[in-house]
Chain A
Amino acid sequence: MKPEELDVKAAAEQAKQQAFEVRLNCCSSTGCHSSGSNEIIAGLKAEIKARQLEGKISVGGTGCMGLCSKGPLVRLTSKSKQEILFSDVKPEMAATLVEKAAVPILNGAKAEEIGGELKGHKLDLDAPFFKMQERVVLSNNGHADPEKLEEYIANGGYQGLRKAMTMSAEAICKELLDSGLRGRGGAGFPTGLKWDLARKVEGDVKYIICNGDEGDPGAFMDRSVLEGDPHAVIEGMLIAARAMNSTHGIFYIRAEYPLAVERVEKALRQARAAGLAGKNILESGWNFDFEIRLGAGAFVCGEETALIASIEGKRGTPRPRPPFPTVKGLWDKPSCVNNVETLANVPRILSRGSQWFASMGTEKSKGTKVFALTGKIRNNGLVEVPMGITLRQIVETIGGGTGTDRKIKAIQTGGPSGGMIPETQFDTPVSYEHLQQMGSMMGSGGMIVIDDHDSVVELVRFYLDFCVDESCGKCAPCRIGGKQMLRLLDKIVEGKGTEEDLKVLRRVAQAMQKASLCALGQTAPNPVLSALKHFEPEFKSRLAVPQKA
C-alpha cells in the first residue's frame, strides 16, 4: 500500500464503524478470554443475527480494559454518545445484553436508563479508576479489535511509521530523545540514546529485538499490550528499524503467553499482506521482516544478554557488558533490545510529536506508565497513569484501597528486583528516580499491595526463593549469595534467627548487589534490603530472642 492509502483505509473503516448505531466490544485478553469471552461474542452475534440487527449493532473483541477481577467486560458505545461498561458478563447473558441494553440504546435510550437485571453489572465510568487514568499505550484497548488491522489503522495506526519514513535515522533518534521516553522494562535507559548508539554502529546486519519475556510474577502489562494492540508494537519496531538502519526484527515472547503469540503472528500476517511489513513497505522499496522466538520459562532471559543467548538457542546465561548488545549482540551483530511497552509508545510519539509526550510526567520521567495492580486491593487490574502521580493516588484512589476492613501495609514495586515501600511513604510521586531513592525501582510495572495481616518477612522470603530458583548459576555472588540469604531467612521465618543473622543477611545482600554479573543478581537483594530498612522491627520480632526496635 502507498502511504496515502492509509488515510483512505482509515476513512473507510471509520465510515464503516459510524454506520453502526451501537458497538459492543468484549474484552478478549487472557483473563476474560478464559472466562468465556469467545462464547459471549458468539452469543451476542447470534442474538443480533436473530433480530436482524447486523447492520446496526456491531460486535467485536478488544484488548484488556483493565478491571480484570470484574471480567469478562463488555463495552457498549453508540453513535448517540452513550457508553456503558458491563462487568462479570456470562455467556448466558448475551441475549439479555442485546435485548435490555443494545436495543434500547439503539431506540434512543440513555445509558442511565439501562437497568433491570443488568443494573448490577454496570460499572461507574466516572469512578476514579477510569477517570484518573491516562491511556496512551492502552489507548486502543477497549476501542479496537486487536485482530483487525483496519481498526488499528482507523485509530491512526501506521501514521507514525509513515512519518518516520520521511525522516532521517538521526532525526528519528532525536525525536525519541526529545520525547524523554525511557525503557519501560525497568532500568529506564533513554530509548532515543540507545537507538542513537545502535545507529552509529556500522553493520550490514542489525537486529531490533522486542523483549516480551515478562517474567516478573504478578505483572502482565506486556502480555496485555501484545494481546490488545499487537500492531502498535510492530509499528514501534519498524520505526526503530528506520532509526538505526536495522535489517531484522525479532519478537521474543514467553511461551506461557500463547494468546499473545497468536495475536502477534496474526498481526504480522496482516501487516505483510497489506505491505506494512516484509517486502516493499509502503511502496518505498524498503524490506524489513520479523521472526518470532519463544521463551521457555527462565526469568533471567529478561536480561538482554541472556535473552540474546536464548535466541541463539543456548542456555539463557548473561555475559558481562561491555561490549553492549548495541555494539555486539545477537550473532555478534549490533542489536537493540527494547521492551514491549517502550515500543508501543513509539508510534504515538512519532505521530503526535515529542512535545506532546514530554508534556506528561515529571522532569526526568516522561509520559505514562502501565502498572499491574494486584494483591490485597479492591480494583485489581491494569492501569495506565501519568508519571508523577503518587503511590497513594494509585493505591487508594484508583485501586480503591484494600476493599476489606484491613489496612494497607506496603506496596512492592518492581517485582523480585524491586523493593517494599511502606504506606507512610505513599505520597511519593512515581518516577524512576523517586522509586530508586526509596530502595525500590520502577521495574516493569508490577505493583503488589499487602495488608497488615501479611508478613513482610515471608513475602521477602517468597521473592528470594524465586530469584534463587531463577539464578542461572554462572556467577558466584548470585548463585551462592542468594542461597545463603534464603537459608538465613528460613531460619528467621522458623523463629530460630539471631541478631547476628540479620547482620550477615545485610552483608551478603550488599555484596551480592555489588558483585553479581547481571541485573538479576544485582537486584535480587532489593526486597531484602528495602524490607530491612522499612520493617526491621518485624524481622526482630521473629528472632529466637525477640527484640524490640
Chain B
Amino acid sequence: MTTAVEAATAKKTGAPAAKDEVTQIALKWKNKSGSLIMALHDLQGRFGYVPREAAMKLGQAMDVPLARIYEVITFYNYFKLEAPGKYIISVCTGTACHIKGSAELLAGLEKDLKISEGQSTPDKEYHLQGVRCLGCCGLAPLASVNGKVYGKLKTDESTKLIERIQEDKPMVGGHEESAA
C-alpha cells in the first residue's frame, strides 16, 4: 500500500518515492541540537504540508516523540497539516494591506471560489488563506500565489486576480506563507 507521503512524493517527482526521503531529512538534522523546526521546514518544503506519516517517520528517525512534533507544528502558523490546493493564494492581512482593504479582497475571493479562508476548493485547484504581513507594504493590498507577488490590487478585483493566476500559472510548490 502506498502511504500519503509516498503518493505526495510520487506526485511531485513523477517517480516512485525514494523510501528514505524523510529519513534523509531526519539524518541531516538529527545531530544538530534544536533542529526540529528546521527539519519540519524541509519536510513541508518537500510535501507542501506535514503529512502525518512523515511526522511519525521523522519522529522515529530523530528520536523525538510524536507529541512533541505536533506540539510544535500546531504552535506555528507556518506549518500545514493538510495538503493545500495547487494554487495557494495568500492574501496579506498586515496592517498596511488592512487599511487598504485586504478584508474586502479576501471576501471577494471567498465568494468567487465558494470557499472560506483557510480552505481549498473541492478540485484542489485553489487554496485560500489570509497571511501575516509579507513585508511588501508599499504594494498594498497584495496577495502572493505560490510565492509570486501580485501587488497594488484593487479590492474589487478578486475575479481578475483569479484570471491572472490562470494566465500566469505561478510555479507550483513555490514558497508558501504562514496561514494567519
A331–B35 Cα gap in the complex (Å)? 13
Q: Does B161 contact A (CB under 8 A)?
A: no
Q: Does A31 contact B (CB under 8 A)?
A: yes
**Beta-carbon contact of A215 and B137 below 8 Å:** no
**Beta-carbon contact of A297 and B76 below 8 Å:** yes
Q: Does B33 contact A (CB under 8 A)?
A: yes
Q: Does B79 contact A (CB under 8 A)?
A: yes
Q: Does A400 contact B (CB under 8 A)?
A: no
**Using an 8 Å CB-CB cutoff, how does the interface string of B129-162 with A read, 1 for contact, 0 for none?**
0011111111110001001110110000000000
Shortest distance from the beta carbon of A292 to any chain B beta carbon, whole Å: 9
**Beta-carbon contact of B133 and A313 below 8 Å:** no
**Beta-carbon contact of A313 and B37 below 8 Å:** yes
Stretch touching chain A among B17-25, B93-101, B114-122: B93-101
**Beta-carbon contact of A293 and B137 below 8 Å:** no
24 A-B pairs, CB-CB below 8 angstroms? A30-B134, A35-B139, A68-B137, A68-B139, A69-B138, A71-B139, A215-B132, A218-B95, A220-B136, A220-B137, A255-B78, A256-B134, A256-B135, A295-B78, A297-B76, A297-B77, A311-B34, A312-B34, A313-B33, A316-B75, A331-B34, A374-B95, A375-B95, A375-B99
Q: Does A131 contact B (CB under 8 A)?
A: no
Shortest distance from the beta carbon of B102 to any chain A beta carbon, whole Å: 10
**Beta-carbon contact of B135 and A220 below 8 Å:** yes
**Beta-carbon contact of A380 and B135 below 8 Å:** no
Nearest 4 interchain pairs by C-beta: A68-B138, A297-B178, A34-B149, A297-B77
Interface size on B, residues (CB 8 A): 43
**Beta-carbon contact of A312 and B33 below 8 Å:** yes
Shortest distance from the beta carbon of B174 to any chain A beta carbon, whole Å: 9
Which of chain A's residues have a CB closer than 8 A to the CB of B11? none
A295–B79 Cα gap in the complex (Å)? 11
A469–B40 Cα gap in the complex (Å)? 22
Q: Does B6 contact A (CB under 8 A)?
A: no
Q: In the complex, what residue of chain A is closest to B62 when comparing beta carbons? A: A313
Q: In the complex, what residue of chain B is closest to A260 when comparing beta carbons? A: B135
Tell which of A215, A257, A375 has the most Cβ of chain B within 10 Å: A375
Stretch touching chain B among A384-392, A446-454, A503-511, A514-522: A446-454
A69–B77 Cα gap in the complex (Å)? 28
**Beta-carbon contact of B94 and A316 below 8 Å:** no
Q: Does A140 contact B (CB under 8 A)?
A: no
A217-B133 in contact given A31-B151, A296-B78, A448-B99 (Cβ < 8 Å): yes
Interface size of A as a range: 35 or more
A296–B72 Cα gap in the complex (Å)? 10
**Beta-carbon contact of A223 and B99 below 8 Å:** no
Q: Does A462 contact B (CB under 8 A)?
A: yes
Which of chain B's residues have a CB closer than 8 A to the CB of A257? 135
**Beta-carbon contact of B133 and A454 below 8 Å:** no
**Beta-carbon contact of B75 and A313 below 8 Å:** no
Residues of B within 8 A of A (CB): 33-38, 40-41, 71-72, 75-79, 93-96, 98-100, 131-140, 144, 147-149, 151-152, 175, 177-180
In A461-481, which residues have CB < 8 Å from any B CB? Answer: 462-463, 469, 472
Q: Does A55 contact B (CB under 8 A)?
A: no
Q: In the complex, what residue of chain A is closest to B73 when comparing beta carbons? A: A296
**Beta-carbon contact of A34 and B96 below 8 Å:** no
Q: Does A401 contact B (CB under 8 A)?
A: no
Q: In the complex, what residue of chain A is closest to B131 when comparing beta carbons? A: A256
A215–B99 Cα gap in the complex (Å)? 17
A35-B76 in contact given A256-B177, A310-B37, A412-B95 (Cβ < 8 Å): no
A448-B33 in contact given A220-B137, A256-B134, A296-B40 (Cβ < 8 Å): no
**Beta-carbon contact of B148 and A214 below 8 Å:** no
**Using an 8 Å CB-CB cutoff, how does the interface string of A358-378 with B read, 1 for contact, 0 for none?**
000000000000001011100
**Beta-carbon contact of B137 and A294 below 8 Å:** no
**Beta-carbon contact of A34 and B94 below 8 Å:** no
A296–B137 Cα gap in the complex (Å)? 20
Q: In the complex, what residue of chain B is closest to A415 when comparing beta carbons? A: B95
Shortest distance from the beta carbon of A471 to any chain B beta carbon, whole Å: 12
**Beta-carbon contact of B136 and A315 below 8 Å:** no
Which of chain B's residues have a CB closer than 8 A to the CB of A381? 138
Tell which of B41, B77, B96, B179 has the most Cβ of chain A within 10 Å: B96
Q: Does A299 contact B (CB under 8 A)?
A: yes
A296–B42 Cα gap in the complex (Å)? 12
Q: In the complex, what residue of chain B is closest to A258 when comparing beta carbons? A: B175
**Beta-carbon contact of A34 and B148 below 8 Å:** yes
Q: Does A298 contact B (CB under 8 A)?
A: yes
A214–B131 Cα gap in the complex (Å)? 14
**Beta-carbon contact of A255 and B178 below 8 Å:** yes
**Beta-carbon contact of B76 and A316 below 8 Å:** yes
Partner of B75, one of A255, A298, A375: A298
**Beta-carbon contact of B133 and A219 below 8 Å:** yes
Q: In the complex, what residue of chain B is closest to A299 when comparing beta carbons? A: B132
**Beta-carbon contact of B95 and A256 below 8 Å:** no
Q: In the complex, what residue of chain A is closest to B74 when comparing beta carbons? A: A315
Which of chain B's residues have a CB closer than 8 A to the CB of A454? 99
Which of chain A's residues have a CB closer than 8 A to the CB of B38? 293-294, 313
Which of chain B's residues have a CB closer than 8 A to the CB of A298? 75-77
Shortest distance from the beta carbon of B10 to any chain A beta carbon, whole Å: 26
**Beta-carbon contact of B40 and A217 below 8 Å:** no
**Beta-carbon contact of B95 and A217 below 8 Å:** yes
**Beta-carbon contact of B138 and A218 below 8 Å:** no
A262–B136 Cα gap in the complex (Å)? 17
In A418-463, which residues have CB < 8 Å from any B CB? Answer: 446, 448, 450, 454, 459, 462-463
A314–B133 Cα gap in the complex (Å)? 23
**Beta-carbon contact of A31 and B94 below 8 Å:** no
Shortest distance from the beta carbon of A206 to any chain B beta carbon, whole Å: 16
Q: In the complex, what residue of chain A is closest to B75 when comparing beta carbons? A: A315
Which of chain A's residues have a CB closer than 8 A to the CB of B34? 311-314, 331
Shortest distance from the beta carbon of B112 to any chain A beta carbon, whole Å: 22
A277–B157 Cα gap in the complex (Å)? 48
In A209-241, which residues have CB < 8 Å from any B CB? Answer: 214-220, 223
Q: In the complex, what residue of chain A is closest to B150 when comparing beta carbons? A: A34
Partner of B72, one of A314, A382, A459: A314
A218–B136 Cα gap in the complex (Å)? 8
A217-B94 in contact given A34-B148, A297-B132, A374-B137 (Cβ < 8 Å): yes
Q: Does A67 contact B (CB under 8 A)?
A: yes
A299–B76 Cα gap in the complex (Å)? 10
Which of chain A's residues have a CB closer than 8 A to the CB of B33? 312-313, 331
Partner of B135, one of A30, A375, A462: A30
A296-B178 in contact given A255-B41, A374-B96 (Cβ < 8 Å): yes
**Beta-carbon contact of A315 and B72 below 8 Å:** yes
Shortest distance from the beta carbon of B130 to any chain A beta carbon, whole Å: 11
